Amino acid sequence: MLTANLINNNIPRLKPQDTVGKALQLISDFKLTHLPVVADNKFLGLISEDDLLDVDAEDQKGSIEFLQESLVQAAVQQDAHFLIAVNCSIQFDTNVIPVINAEKDYVGIISTSDLLKALGNFSGANEIGGIIELEMERSQFAISEISRIVESNDCTILHLNTIVHPETGMLTVTLHINKREIATVIASFERYDYHVSFYFGIHQFENEIESNYRNFMHYLDI
């Protein structure tokens, strides 16, 4: 999915001639951290709520033009993958990400709520299935073997994500598979000496039922 597909047309833009008071009101109304400043359809930058709040009350009737040096130069190209916008949002700590073209013309803006929905669809969060998390050395990671183990249990990997822990160098592999009955998959990974650090699925519920049953029988023995 490209950034151009996520543009939100309801979020306003500012002109350099707009007042500080107007900018603060729009930021408050739309619950934003920043707003884009645009002149002659050229993107000038993002103005932050913090910079606007630093302006003395008596100067809030003045234009935002004098804050131009404080504008944040954060934007993504309209033909970029939406994950670039996610990174931009994190890097600049903003809940809006301007979209521009190669000539720096302002195309629109993306909200982080729209990004979150796109991330949910991208990661398959709305798809039914089980979650298995493996922890391993980076040298142990082999997609082909992991896929073979999952598929040998008549399951399919819907999504796979990896995270490297900077402190330990260990790799965490998160698998989203198409079935919630994951007991046999977990057993297969453990049989091949994979460390299963977390799982979510029917297997978890069965473990809880078994634990509750043992506790109940122990209670009866007392």
What are φ and ψ of residue 122, in 5° steps? -65, -40
User: Please, where are the H alpha helices in 135-201?
Assistant: 143-151, 183-191
Give the pLDDT of residue 205: 44
pLDDT tens digit string along 16-45?
999 999 999 999 999 999 999 999 999 999
pLDDT tens digit string along 152-162?
999 999 999 99
pLDDT above 90 (res 177): yes
Tell me the whole-structure pTM to 2 decimals. Answer: 0.73
Give the pLDDT of residue 214: 58
Report CA dihedral (54, 56, 62, 66) to the nearest 10 degrees: -40
For 49, counting Cβ atoms within 10 Å of its Cβ (0-12 exposed, 13-18 middle, 19+ buried), the class is: middle
How many angstroms separate the CA atoms of 217 and 198, rounded?
28
pLDDT above 80 (res 219): no
CA-nearest of 134, 190, 121 to 162 is 134
Give the H/E segment covering residue 42.
strand 42-48
**Which amino acid is located at 108 in the chain?**
G
With cut-offs at 50, 70 and 90, classify the pLDDT of residue 127.
Answer: confident
Is 52:21 a contact under the CB 8 Å cutoff? no
pLDDT tens digit string along 43-77?
999 999 999 999 987 778 889 999 999 999 999 99
List the structure tokens of 75.
Answer: 């934007």
What domains are there in the chain, each with its CATH number?
Answer: 3-119 (3.10.580.10), 127-218 (3.30.70.260)
Is 11:30 a contact under the CB 8 Å cutoff? yes
